[in-house]
Structure 1
Amino acid sequence: MKKISSTLLGLSMALAASAHANDKQLVIGTNNWAENIAVANMWKIVLEEEHGYEIELTDVGKSVLYSGLANNDFDISLEIWLPTTDKDFLAPYKDEIDVHDVWYEGTGLGIVVPSYVEIDTIDALRDSAEQFSYQGRPTIIGIDSGSAIAGLTDDAIDAYDLPMRQLYSSDPAMMAALDDAYQREEPIAVTLWSPHWAFAEYDLKYLEDTQGVYGESDDIFWFSRKGFAEDDPWLTQVLNEWHMDDDTLGGLMATIEQQGDPVEGARTWIGENRELIDTWLAAGE
């Protein structure tokens, strides 16, 4: 009887350990940042094709992302920058959202110019604003108006008294403008962040933020609706083990950019980085 009971107990534990592979539906809230698209598609492929999940990626604005997690419309999201950049987005929902572990350390954020541009500080941008005209006006080209970097750039324009506008667009539109100016070696100022594939493709530099408007370096965490860790302890352990650096994340983003498709690019990168991914997955065993 003891032997049979032990066998049944072992079988029960094995079934519990693999429960995450059965009928698991997951909604991941995403935004249009290059690294967010990259890691969301990477995890969608790994979890669907190897662990039986059904994953829905839902692209929304920042404010909707946080309220959606708080209201259980989404299960997880893979990118929150703390302690500075996303603190104001998190603040109204800090009791309804769980922030989990860091997966990328040491972000960058600010106004970026090509390295051939002679100025090195945001202060110097004030006196050189006319050189950075876009569509007839001195311009810093940004991304969507609801992003944290857009708000900080508005603050920087005020703090440094820059005679410039911020032109809200999108990551792809901003990058298209950067590429066009870069190919012609013309001055251009854009809002950018690290990690981003642009730093692997172009010779760029951050303008020094002497007033500290953009804050100190952040880390990137993943976060979830309240109670997700109890509902899916396996995936929680796996994502808490997940870590990437400039080489691994930059490689993922560069592969996607080269292939022009986030799914195929992520799938190619997964095949080339099997050992790394297996170390993350092993945490759930």
Structure 2
Amino acid sequence: MADSPHEPAGPAANRHSEQFGRADRAVGAHHRRDGADDTGETRTGKKAKKEKSFWRELPILIVVALALSFLLQTFVARVYLIPSESMQPTLHGCPGCTGDRIVVEKISYRFTDPRPGDVVVFKGPDSWSAGYVSTRSDNVVLRGIQEVGSLVGLVPPDENDLVKRVIAVGGQTVECCDDQGRVLVDGVPLDEPYVQMDFPFTPGVVTCETDVQSGRCFGPVTVPDDHVWVMGDNRSNSADSRYHVGDEHQGAIPLDNVIGKARLIVLPPGRWGTIDSPDILPS
């Protein structure tokens, strides 16, 4: 009987079929390899684009950060270093040691005036800055860099900034002392728990009436309007308003010179805390 035309015609046909199958598999594998290469190239391209985008955006991010720092330092708050012992024990500072770094808030005094008891940072008037030495370099380029750094808070401002406590405000009369050695404002003795270091005052021995007066004694002085009378908490080691009564402001500080209110101690970590501003005038 003749073979059917729809059936394989022996071993040769089988070999042809196997070769055709191998060829198809080879072509498929080739297409899969091409696809894998295309995917890898696409991922690499996206990664390169992201890296380029980051480096293009970085300068913008830096400028925005510096602008925000400038605005915060100028209008909201700034950190200051305490360099001296005049506010001991409230604020710690001394030459060569690690002084407190404090946050000075600038918003409150845009709406209200300082009150007795507040700890404030202010720019010293001319009579307070006689011995002040500029912290800027003589090199024009370095000086310019320092000025830019100061704008964004990386470098301290080149001015005689001081920190003291407000004792009296414009129109009040301040003096020392009553028979217990206390400071008087408009004849009323102040309650000052923060003062732990002061000049000796011993009734009948060393007072404001004895031949050798106590170092506490001064006044009376009437504070000019729009000024504040300031004193250090370390009364025996503070060149404050008492030492400048002969200047044009009678030792007081113009309100325009007040930078802000000291709120927090932020460094060193062991000194973290708020800065107390008690109401020192009896109610």
TM superposition score normalised by structure 1: 0.25
TM superposition score normalised by structure 2: 0.25
**Per residue, is there more helix in 1 or in 2?**
1
